[in-house]
Amino acid sequence: MRMMSRRFGAVTRVETTRGTRARAVRVETMRGSFGAAETSRATSGGRARGENYGGRRDAATRAARRPNASEYAAATTSKGGGGSAFERAGGLLYVRNFFEPETYERVAKECAKLRESVTAENRACARHRLGVMVPMDNFVHEACVASSVAERLGTLLLGEENDGDLVAGDVPVEFRIYPVGGSMDWHKDVALYSKPQFEIVFTVTNTSDSTTEWEDERTGMRYGGWTEPNSVIVVRADGAPHRVTAVTRGERSIVKFVLTQTLEKTDDFFDNLLTYTH
């Protein structure tokens, strides 16, 4: 794979040529805004501005009130068609203002305490990343596995017809820190259940210059952006390839949790339990 990078102000364009097909893939990385919908909290009830993760626009985000999760999902869909918002988006969903402000503040406070417990992580594709399993009696765990979270994301991920099918996975909720040097190479998450799970990455804090990039395998287009605090990214195991670019300044902290349609496990489930050094 050959990658050429040029800078155009805030936008970095990367052209990629892969294999013998010489397919040109353009990446547009928007530092700072992530290109997602603004909220009424940010605009004081004024016009909400909509672009998606990667720069596509959708009129659904142009609401004068606080957009709900569906509207954020709509902002990531530009191709129309059937299926859930997640499917139409091409394999990655970005939702801003995920928790209510009070819940977010409490999650952030608890995560600040968890920082004392983080250790180096063993996963192959992650570099210089730190993390810790969140205890089940911690508020962060409680907030992530709440049925309201599964219900809310169910519609976006599975569509109206199947929105009651999601439950929290029986894997630990994890708190992770990307310090300077922290990154994650291109990968697909391993399926832990017989129906591949949804991996939810909630950004707690982000003072870093790191971006999350992903590929829509239908088109070969790559997209990416900076994730703001109190947002989530959702990808499906065995789904869209994605990576986290290296932090060169600042730090990003996230909570990762899993939603699933089944608790029937694959063999990989058992191989993925020991991921931190102690």
Q: How many residues bind Fe ion (CB under 5 A)?
A: 1
DSSP letters, 114-135, are HGGG-EEB--TTEES-EEEEPP
Of 140 and 244, which CB lies nearer to Fe ion in the complex structure?
Answer: 244
Which positions from 131 through 160 interact with Fe ion, judged by CB under 5 A? none
Length of the chain: 278
Residue nearest to Fe ion (CB): 189
- Burial (Cβ within 10 Å: 0-12, 13-18, ≥19) of residue 32: exposed
| One of 58, 189, 215, 216 touching Fe ion (CB under 5 A) | 189
- The span of 37-45, 138-146, 161-169, 184-192 binding Fe ion (CB under 5 A) equals 184-192
CB of residue 252 to Fe ion, shortest distance in Å? 14
CB of residue 181 to Fe ion, shortest distance in Å? 18
Of 48 and 243, which CB lies nearer to Fe ion in the complex structure?
Answer: 243
The C-alpha atoms of residue 215 and residue 255 are separated, in whole angstroms, by 22
Of 28 and 189, which CB lies nearer to Fe ion in the complex structure?
Answer: 189
CB of residue 126 to Fe ion, shortest distance in Å? 9
Q: How far is CA 227 from the centre of its chain?
A: 8
- Taking CA atoms, 161 is separated from 63, 67, 124, 154, 155, in Å, by 25, 22, 37, 10, 8
Question: For the chain, where are the alpha helices, taking DSSP H only?
Answer: 40-43, 69-75, 85-89, 101-114, 139-145, 147-158, 267-271
CB atoms within 10 A of CB 31: 15
Of 190 and 221, which CB lies nearer to Fe ion in the complex structure?
Answer: 190
- The span of 63-71, 138-146, 182-190, 258-266 binding Fe ion (CB under 5 A) equals 182-190
Of 71 and 189, which CB lies nearer to Fe ion in the complex structure?
Answer: 189
* Contact footprint for Fe ion (CB under 5 A): 189
